[in-house]
Amino acid sequence: MGVKANMDGEKRLIQARERVIDAISQNMHLYGVTESVGRLYGALYFQEDPMTLDEMKDELGMSKTSMSTSVRNLMDLKMVDKVWRKGVRKDLYQAEPDWYQTFIDFFTIKWRAGVNINVSAMEKSLTELHLLIEDNETDERIKNMARVDCEKILAALEYYDWLNRLVDSFESGEIFQYIPKKR
């Protein structure tokens, strides 16, 4: 095979990877992760060996500070792991290669955070609404509105209980009994 064929093949390989990296970064952006963090995950995903921050900085043209923040974000989402290699003094990072696990980690972290915020606010509001209903000085019209609000909040709390159980099924792997990884 000639040099030109090798160069053409490498160019096509890079284009194919770049297309996937762009799609990953756009998809992650839909879920509140910056596109640069998505690009970093995509770039790490295609690497055969773990990379240092300096190597990532050179690969993506980002500042070391931005790169460090992005890596930390990906580690918080459990999408990137710090790895050790004998004889290497700098920290090395690699992408989690299991897309199922990446999905589970990413979404369960996001879902749990959202559930906790909403449940906390709803429980506090339920307590306040019950006090309002029990207060002898509260107008009956306000009490009725508060009762309706309590019913709406209780329905929402049922949903959040369901969502927590769904998240549990992802984390335990039980979901794969209902929706197998492969057909």
122-172 confidence digits (pLDDT tens): 999 999 999 999 999 999 999 999 999 999 999 999 999 999 999 999 999
Nearest to 70 by CA among 46, 110, 42: 42
Model's pTM, two decimal places? 0.78
**pLDDT per position as a tens digit, 45-58:** 999 999 999 999 99
Query: What percentage of the chain carries pLDDT values higher than 70?
Result: 98
- In this prediction, residue 64 carries a pLDDT of 86
- In this prediction, residue 160 carries a pLDDT of 97
Q: What distance separates the 2 farthest-apart alpha carbons in the chain?
A: 91
- Yes or no: say if 28 and 37 are a contact pair by the CB < 8 Å rule: yes
- In this prediction, residue 1 carries a pLDDT of 60
Rounded CA gap, 45 and 171, in Å? 22
Confidence of residue 30 (pLDDT cuts 50, 70, 90): confident
Q: For the residues 20-47, what does the mean pLDDT come to? A: 92
- As a CATH number, domain 3-96 is 1.10.10.10
Residue type for 157, please?
L
DSSP type of residue 62: -
Rounded CA gap, 171 and 176, in Å? 10
Q: How far is CA 46 from CA 38, 116, 171, 176, in A?
A: 13, 35, 26, 26
Rounded CA gap, 43 and 90, in Å? 19
Confidence of residue 88 (pLDDT cuts 50, 70, 90): confident
